[in-house]
Amino acid sequence: MPRVGLTPAGVLGHALDLIDETGPEALTLAAVAARAGVATPSLYKHVSGGLPELRRLVAVRVTEELAEALAEAVLGRSRDDAVEALLGAYIGYAERHPYRYAALPQAPQEDAELRRAAARLVGVIVAVLRGYGLDGTEAIHAARTVRATAHGFASLATGGAFQLAADLVVTQQRLVRVLTEGLRAWPTA
Amino acid sequence: MPRVGLTPAGVLGHALDLIDETGPEALTLAAVAARAGVATPSLYKHVSGGLPELRRLVAVRVTEELAEALAEAVLGRSRDDAVEALLGAYIGYAERHPYRYAALPQAPQEDAELRRAAARLVGVIVAVLRGYGLDGTEAIHAARTVRATAHGFASLATGGAFQLAADLVVTQQRLVRVLTEGLRAWPTA
DNA sequence: CCGCAAAGCTATGGCTAATAGCCATAGCCG
DNA sequence: CGGCTATGGCTATTAGCCATAGCTTTGCGG
């Protein structure tokens, strides 16, 4: 049979395409194989761990992309300006790739590679917090606060949980305002 | 064959037990049927919509429980006191029933019953916000802010996304502080 | 006491992931 | 250049899942 030149990266690419088009639920080995022009079992030659492994790869990739978007957004900015850019980039990524973002949370968290990617994401946040004079334990609490608000809004907004008619952009502005005020008044223990 | 006296409510009960024990992924008709002492197809006599219907029922029930917990927590409290109780109840519910909370839909739901339950939950939040003089459109933005922070923290905390050693209880206190300060200084348009 | 709707069942079909084992290709190396 | 090994395909199979169709039994209400 003619080799189709599949690689692990190629399989991941098809997986991401599938997720983007039809949602995380649609990520099946059968669908990926069909898209790659290959029979399902052949995928195991490239992704030995099967579906769980593929999901893991997706989570790592998305986390990396998100961390990269955040890092780029805060370049050359500080304090409130950086926080606004950070939230904008976070929520913007989730809005541009809602299914991809939704594929994030149900990943196994004990994976080393995923933790490394997540650490980079947190690192960007912590770097921004230094502009508020925060470090050490309080920086961790503040980073969690930032992450919780960003994730909460992104998750609810992309999930369609905000039913009422009010403008989501305004809500995002309010969220940024609450966050920046909170960070400026943070108890610098 | 002896009738086992199954009812829709009974099926839902088994489904919730299963989710509590093994996670939302473990919710299968086969497992529910085994637990109920019944063959899989028999479930369709009580839950005609099959697995999607069962998942829907779970989501409605969990939303109702959460709304109820919030309503009870804010009874007799107002302003910062109410917000603290609200977040505590929300996060507490998620921590006591992490799988159940994780079973809440992350996909857009146009189900009427679910929307009604969600509306009750939002109603409790909006009621608290009246203590800050907020209503109308700004109350919606503020409610979204509260919901985003609560969901974001609950989701990340129960999902194990906060890896570092710092105390989650302290983070929650900081979150409450940021939120209450933000609500007190809300732009009452 | 009997009819009949409700509630159980088995059988079947069509998905899925995953494993086992076979065959064709590619590219290296003597 | 010939052959060998590693690799990347394949088919077949197993096991588990949801779902539908259609039969049988139960037990309630008239």
C strand bases under 7 Å from protein CB: 6-11, 15-21, 24-26
pLDDT of residue A189: 59
Distance of alpha carbon A126 from its chain centroid, rounded? 17
Measured distance CA(B180)–CA(B162) in Å, rounded: 23
- Buried b / exposed e over B122-142, threshold 16 CB at 10 Å, is bebbbbbbebbebeeebbbbb
Which DSSP symbol is given to B44? G
Q: Is B164 helix (H, G, I), strand (E, B) or coil?
A: coil
Mean pLDDT of chain A: 93
Determine the residue type at B6: L
Domain ranges, ordered by start, for chain A: 1-48, 58-184
Measured distance CA(A173)–CA(B187) in Å, rounded: 11
A107 closest CA partner among A64, A71, A154, A140: A64
**CATH number belonging to domain A1-48:** 1.10.10.60
Contact residues for B176 (Cβ-Cβ < 8 A; gap 6+): B80, B83, B84, B87, B88
* Chain A residues with CB-CB distance to B99 below 8 A: none
Query: Which has more pLDDT, A89 or A8?
Result: A89
* Chain B residues with CB-CB distance to A109 below 8 A: 159-161, 163
Give residue ranges of B with CB < 8 Å to any A CB. Answer: 102, 105-109, 115, 118-119, 137, 140-142, 144-145, 147-153, 155-156, 159-164, 166, 170-171, 174-175, 177-179, 181-183, 185-187
- pLDDT tens, B97-129? 999 999 998 777 789 999 999 999 999 999 999
Q: To 10 degrees, what angle do helices A168-184 and A136-158 make? A: 170
Tokens matching residue B37: 């002492």
pLDDT of residue A1: 59
Q: Give chain B's residues under pLDDT 70.
A: 1-2, 189
Please give the average per-residue pLDDT across A160-166, as a whole number: 89
Cβ atoms A165, A175 nearer than 8 A: no
- Backbone φ/ψ region at A52: left (φ over 0), alpha (ψ -120 to 50), beta: alpha
Distance of alpha carbon A173 from its chain centroid, rounded? 21
- pLDDT tens, A74-110? 999 999 999 999 999 999 999 999 999 999 977 667 8
Q: Determine which of A128-132, A173-177, B94-98, B163-167 has the lowest per-residue pLDDT on average.
A: B163-167
- pLDDT tens, A53-66? 999 999 999 999 99
Cβ atoms A168, A94 nearer than 8 A: no
Residue A2 pLDDT more than 90? no
Q: For B141, which of A106, A118, A166 is closest by C-beta distance?
A: A166
**CATH number belonging to domain A58-184:** 1.10.357.10
pLDDT of residue A108: 66
